[in-house]
């Protein structure tokens, strides 16, 4: 079964074909294309929803044509369509959902709406056959920070989540305060490589309060540190030290919460997913800490960490294979709990 996946939840237009018959029936990504709106939104320091929606509309048709050429197939070879139903920006979601549902109707094939974070959670499994349920997943992106116990497709229990800013959002705001361009995550990481992670002490919010997260206080602490540190606006070394200290505090917080979640659930497998999971300091520290308690960490390759069509195609294929599909109506969900997902 060849599934076309459409991802339009925010500022990336991602399309991919997942073929369940590739690799001797083990499945694999036949082809994928991705258009990022980073340059469009960089001027504003963040995503402008209306501009994002309009750009998705402009890019969907040419990207589909490009995808079919890369995959060397025709539209008639598509067996099903999966689109991001939520959560995300409602206008952006609707562009992909309406495009996908209309195309499915025209081709007379089934369509299924996919939860964006379920796509991220399952993305590491696309190229890693060694991941098996159950496991604990750390989902870290620009809009979400949560720890989830995953017992199977559609069987998720939220162990903890951010009560305010998501970690990716915190990276973006810290980057802006340091005068770095959008998106913040990779630019802070790049600057931090030249800094001392122990130069400044920053808070680790809510470490002793269950598995929930809070990053608004860390954002404020970075703001005050920059304001109170002479040379933070011009001295490269000082700015690098601040970036490194901030990143170290975030990583330390995430790692300690993850190891606590593994001990609490009794599980030995941790999966990290979402855009922030591409951070090398986070990966390295998690691997070391989880290995120390007899566990193992899995994550997706960098090109599957950020929003992409492959993760939606893969999640859609999994759901369609279990008999899940949507009717002709299109109803996107900008806020959608993973715990409500069932097959």
CB 222 within 8 A of CB 171: no
Q: Is 20 annotated as a binding residue?
A: no
Q: Is 208 annotated as a binding residue?
A: no
Q: Is 198 annotated as a binding residue?
A: no
Strands (E), 37-173: 80-86, 111-115, 135-140, 145-152, 155-161
Q: Is 107 annotated as a binding residue?
A: no
DSSP assignments along 255-268, one per residue = HHHHHHHHHHHT--
Q: Is 152 annotated as a binding residue?
A: no
Q: Is 287 annotated as a binding residue?
A: no
Q: Is 23 annotated as a binding residue?
A: no
CB 267 within 8 A of CB 132: no
**Torsion sign across C-alpha atoms 43, 45, 49, 53:** positive
Distance CA 28, CA 20 (A): 6
CB 10 within 8 A of CB 52: yes
**Contact residues for 11 (Cβ-Cβ < 8 A; gap 6+):** 36, 37, 38, 40, 41, 47, 52, 92, 307
Q: Is 307 annotated as a binding residue?
A: yes
- DSSP H or E stretch at residue 34: strand 28-36
Distance CA 140, CA 169 (A): 10
Q: Is 187 annotated as a binding residue?
A: no
What tokens does 144 get? Answer: 């979400």
Q: Is 140 annotated as a binding residue?
A: yes
Annotated binding site for substrate: 139-143, 172, 185, 189, 279
Annotated binding site for Fe cation: 116, 120, 307
Annotated binding site: 116, 120, 139-143, 172, 185, 189, 279, 307
């Amino acid at each position: 079964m060849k599934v076309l996946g459409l991802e339009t939840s925010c500022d990336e237009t991602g399309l991919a074909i997942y073929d369940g018959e590739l690799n001797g029936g083990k499945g694999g990504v036949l082809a994928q294309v991705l258009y990022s709106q980073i340059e469009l939104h960089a001027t504003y320091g963040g995503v402008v929803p209306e501009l994002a929606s309009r750009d998705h509309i402009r890019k969907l048709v040419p990207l589909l044509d490009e995808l079919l050429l890369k995959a060397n197939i025709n539209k008639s070879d598509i067996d099903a369509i999966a689109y991001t139903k939520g959560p995300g920006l409602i206008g952006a979601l609707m562009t992909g959902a309406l495009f996908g549902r209309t195309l499915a109707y025209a081709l007379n094939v089934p369509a299924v709406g996919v939860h964006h974070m379920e796509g991220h959670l399952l993305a590491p499994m696309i190229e890693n056959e060694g991941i098996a349920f159950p496991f604990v997943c750390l989902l870290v992106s620009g809009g979400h920070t949560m720890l989830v116990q995953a017992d199977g497709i559609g069987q998720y229990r939220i162990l903890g989540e951010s009560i305010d800013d998501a970690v990716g959002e915190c990276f973006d705001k810290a980057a802006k305060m340091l005068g770095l361009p959008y998106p913040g995550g990779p630019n802070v990481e790049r600057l931090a490589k030249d800094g001392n992670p122990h130069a400044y002490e920053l808070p680790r919010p809510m470490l002793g309060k269950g598995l929930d997260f809070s990053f608004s206080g860390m954002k404020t602490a970075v703001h005050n540190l920059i304001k109170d540190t002479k040379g933070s606006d011009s001295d490269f070394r000082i700015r690098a030290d601040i970036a490194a200290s901030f990143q170290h505090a975030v990583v330390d917080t995430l790692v300690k919460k993850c190891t606590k979640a593994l001990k609490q659930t009794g599980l030995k497998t941790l999966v990290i997913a979402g855009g922030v999971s591409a951070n090398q300091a986070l990966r390295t520290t998690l691997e070391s800490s989880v290995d120390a308690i007899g566990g193992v960490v899995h994550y997706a390759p960098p090109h599957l960490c950020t929003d992409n069509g492959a993760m939606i195609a893969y999640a859609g294929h999994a759901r369609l294979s279990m008999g899940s599909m949507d009717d002709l109506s299109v109803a996107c969900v900008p806020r959608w709990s993973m715990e409500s997902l069932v097959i």
